[in-house]
Amino acid sequence: GQSLEQPSEVTAVEGAIVQINCTYQTSGFYGLSWYQQHDGGAPTFLSYNALDGLEETGRFSSFLSRSDSYGYLLLQELQMKDSASYFCAVIIYRAGANNLFFGTGTRLTVIP
Amino acid sequence: GAVVSQHPSRVICKSGTSVKIECRSLDFQATTMFWYRQFPKKSLMLMATSNEGSKATYEQGVEKDKFLINHASLTLSTLTVTSAHPEDSSFYICSARLAGYSYYNEQFFGPGTRLTVL
């Protein structure tokens, strides 16, 4: 099976930088993705890492270390609208398809 | 582009009835669609992988006879919760991946269906 751990809650100030960590245990690892979900809404794709290193997309960056089974999402210049739940998800290639298995989720609260 | 819709958005039903949830990819073809279940303030749990024209692959612990999945076309997958009970109350979310991109890793999620079983 798969196991992914994230901090359950994080609070940060508007304009600051916050890092959300994710550790995972799985077999058949293909990559790590990050998704954002606002209350009652659908998850939206933020980033994907297949190789070690940092991927940057605007204010969001994601890092992966395959040897450490660890990744993080970095959010810069936090805005109030960034308050949401953030999920890491491992991608496992299985039975001819890439499947996503989500972590426990981190609820980010941005305060003024 | 890459919009996924679900219908209905909310449904309330009596215990023992069956409920069908539709998932449609509106502007792209999806060889593979996925069904997830999410409890309040919890993570998304993959229930099954649905491939067009073939049987769905269910995750361990998910009852095939209770959660019937049909993927009859490249734009439509349905999840039927049969003989629903209060413990089936949850948020059901589908996602789709672009056809022809076996290794494309972005899934596009529908807005979800809130099922309440009385």
Over residues B26-39, the pLDDT tens digits come to: 988 887 899 999 98
Look over chain B and give the mean of its residue pLDDT values, rounded to a whole number: 89
Q: What average pLDDT does this structure show over A55-67?
A: 94
| Per-residue pLDDT at B99 | 62
- Nearest CA of chain A to the CA of B55: how many Å? 12
Identify whether the C-beta of residue B65 lies closer than 8 Å to the C-beta of residue B82: yes
State the Cα–Cα distance between residues B23 and A43, nearest whole angstrom: 15
The residue type of A34 is W
List the one residue out of A37, A34, A71, A75 whose CA is nearest residue A51: A71
CA-only gyration radius of chain B, Å: 13
pLDDT confidence bin for A57, thresholds 50/70/90: confident
Task: Look up tokens 């293909």; give the residue.
Answer: A30
Identify whether the C-beta of residue A96 lies closer than 8 Å to the C-beta of residue A34: no
State the Cα–Cα distance between residues A46 and A12, nearest whole angstrom: 19
Name the residue in chain B with its Cα closest to that of A99: B49
| Per-residue pLDDT at B42 | 86
Interface of A with B (CB under 8 A): 1, 30-31, 33, 35, 40-45, 48, 50, 87, 91, 93, 95-105, 107
Q: What average pLDDT does this structure show over B94-112?
A: 75
Task: Look up tokens 């980010």; give the residue.
Answer: A108
Cα first-last separation, chain B:
37
State the Cα–Cα distance between residues A57 and A89, nearest whole angstrom: 18
The residue type of A70 is Y
Please tell me the least confidently modeled range out of A3-7, B51-55, B57-61.
B51-55
Name the residue in chain A with its Cα closest to that of B102: A97
Q: What average pLDDT does this structure show over B81-102?
A: 86
